[in-house]
Chain A
Amino acid sequence: MEETDKKPKKAGARLCCICNQTRAALKRPKTFDQICKECFYKAFEEEIHRVIVNNQLFKPGERIAIGASGGKDSTVLAYILSELNRRHNYGLDLFLLSVDEGITGYRDDSLETVKRNELQYGLPLKIVSYKDLYGWTMDEIVKMIGLKNNCTFCGVFRRQALDRGAALLKVDKLATGHNADDIAETVLLNILRGDIARLSRCCSITTGEDGPIPRCKPFKYTYEKEIVMYAYFKGLDYFSTECIYSPNAYRGFAREFIKDLERIRPRAILDIIKSGEDFRIATTTKMPEQGTCERCGYISSQKWCKACVLLEGLNRGLPKLGIGRIRGVNNGRKKDINQISGAKSIESKQCGALDF
């Protein structure tokens, strides 16, 4: 028996259905194609290029920030975008933009990964911190409010922090690493919460085009499995630890449900996205009106934006301001609070790591 260094399994020794020459290395969830590494790289990169071109995500000469957490999705996104930018002459100026939430043992480690990516891909990196922007680190916030609702603070603050960082970099657009699995999960969550405004928004490949910094999701149709396989086969350097403060309860159930569906029928992920895209909202549904925050000028459908309400609560020692229903706060203050937030605040959103 001959021994090669990469002993193929008998059952796995099938040849790639594209080139018919090399041993297949994975089964693509989208197509069930059995494909070798080299053909997979080509197909994967080409599909993302097609998504970028067909949806006109970027224009020549634009400055683009890549939201970089050091995790798998944003690391692969940074790698692919710099590659495609070179290969297809997009003419883009690419930057890495990271948010330092101030979480010891989690974000400090993942930021080290982003700093390595800065060198590996030759992309300038900008880090904005909660401490600088808001005067509080997540560690300090958790010390004050405990482990309940902390993800609400983090999610609201991150969304603004990315916008502010993008403004500092003077970029035209922000690209994020949200993948097809993330989007399918968010469609389900928005249905479960009855959040019609977010449901209609979360499937758009580009959002916020009327605002100062539009966001786009080049991985909208890309399976998480393929992103991880790509990172693994290419030996990309990414960080993978769950946030130490994330309870992840509600989103966790949705995620597990999606993954169970995927095992039975991988196509389900793209079909959920399709359902989200084709959803039509009754004309009688009242949608929140978009305005600006009276305090900081950020987009807001209320008098004050969510970040300002949360920050006011922290600074006044009333961290429950702006969290869910107004419970456990006495009547005298209740009036005060309603004035501040302008209206009933939305139910707190578990782990906001994926903001749409």
Chain B
Amino acid sequence: MQLTLEFGGGLELLCESVKIHNVNVEPQNGADKLIMKDLLAWVRTNLIKERPEMFMKGDSVRPGVLVIVNDCDWELSGQLDTPLEEKDVVVFISTLHGG
């Protein structure tokens, strides 16, 4: 399925300074739908080119990285269990920099 992924707050530096990525990601491990947990693993393998520890900790994003799905805080949609659908827009923003 087609997704738009956006990196901000300095996270774009981990993926060759490209902020917006239009990607095609299929459900992982034979599942019938894609959830955020699998998307994060996919992003780490396919988009993050350096310092993956700035983006992830364990199987989730590093604390201090905000995730916004279709303009909505992922804490409202189930975090790692958030289901993703065709044409969803997922934004990752780091808060871990100076202000």
B70: chain A residues at CB < 8 Å are 6-9, 12
Cα distance A159–B70 in the bound complex, in angstroms: 41
Interface residues of A (CB under 8 A from B): 6-12, 14, 23-27, 34, 69, 71-74, 177-179, 181-182, 224-225, 227-229, 232-233, 240-243, 255-256, 259-260, 262-263, 353-354
A9 & B82 in contact (Cβ 8 Å cutoff): yes
Query: Which of B64, B68, B77 lies in contact with A11, CB distance below 8 A?
Result: B77
Please tell me if the beta carbons of B10 and A241 are within 8 angstroms of each other in the complex. yes
> B16: CB under 8 A from chain A?
no
Q: Which residues of A contact B52 (CB under 8 A)?
A: none
In the assembled complex, how far is the CB of residue B33 from the closest CB belonging to chain A, in whole angstroms? 12
Contact partner of A229 among B10, B64, B73, CB < 8 A?
Answer: B73
| Bound form: Cα–Cα A225–B61 in Å | 14
Contact B76–A242 (Cβ < 8 Å): no
Q: What B residues does A255 contact at CB under 8 A?
A: 64, 96
Chain B hits for A260, CB < 8 A: 63
Q: How far is the CB of A228 from chain B (nearest CB, A)?
A: 5
Q: Which residues of chain B from 60 to 99 have a CB within 8 Å of any chain A CB?
A: 62-64, 66, 68-73, 75-78, 82-83, 85, 87-88, 91, 93-99
> Is B69 within 8 A of A9, CB to CB?
yes
Which residues of A sit under 8 angstroms from B68, Cβ to Cβ?
232
Among B75, B82, B97, the residue within 8 A (CB) of A240 is B97
Given contacts A232-B8, A232-B91, contact A14 B76 (CB under 8 A): yes
B13 at the interface (CB under 8 A from A): yes
Q: How far is the CA of A74 from the CA of B69 in the complex (A)?
A: 26
Identify the closest chain B residue to A7 (Cβ): B70
**CA–CA, A117 and B62, complex, Å:** 30
Say yes or no: A69-B71 contact (C-beta < 8 A), given A14-B76, A241-B10, A263-B63. Answer: no
The docked-state distance in angstroms from the alpha carbon of A54 to that of B98 is 28
In the assembled complex, the Cα of A72 lies from the Cα of B97 at a distance in Å of 9
Shortest distance between the CB of B21 and any CB in chain A (Å) = 18
Q: Are B73 and A27 in contact (CB under 8 A)?
A: yes
